[in-house]
Amino acid sequence: MQTLLELNYSVRAIARFIKRSPSTVSIEIHQVTPYKAEIAHALALKKRHLRGRHDTLTPAIAVFLNHHIGILK
């Protein structure tokens, strides 16, 4: 993407080239200004832990359930 931006390609042209939505490309470009691939990649790796499922059974919820329902031993 960085090379295509340097060659003055539009967001839509870049999206077609990499087979992604123009909105996805636009969001990616605007997260790092001016866009540098190395910085964008480092940011993506840093945010990686935010994806996926997260534990929802906190210790406080476990105590509540055990006290009121008695399902956890």
pLDDT for the residue 3: 96
- Mean pLDDT per 10-residue run, the chain (73 residues)? 96 97 95 93 88 80 82 59
Q: What is the DSSP string of 17-35?
A: HHT--HHHHHHHHHHSSS-
In a domain, 26, yes or no: yes
In a domain, 29, yes or no: yes
In a domain, 30, yes or no: yes
In a domain, 73, yes or no: no
In a domain, 20, yes or no: yes
Domain interval for residue 56? 2-68
pLDDT for the residue 71: 64
Total count of residues recorded for the chain: 73
Neighbours of 15 (CB within 10 A): 20
Q: What is the reported pTM?
A: 0.65
pLDDT for the residue 73: 56
Task: Give the dihedral sign, CA 16/51/34/36.
Answer: negative
In a domain, 52, yes or no: yes
Number of structural domains (the chain) is: 1
Q: Which two tokens stand for residue 5?
A: 């931006």
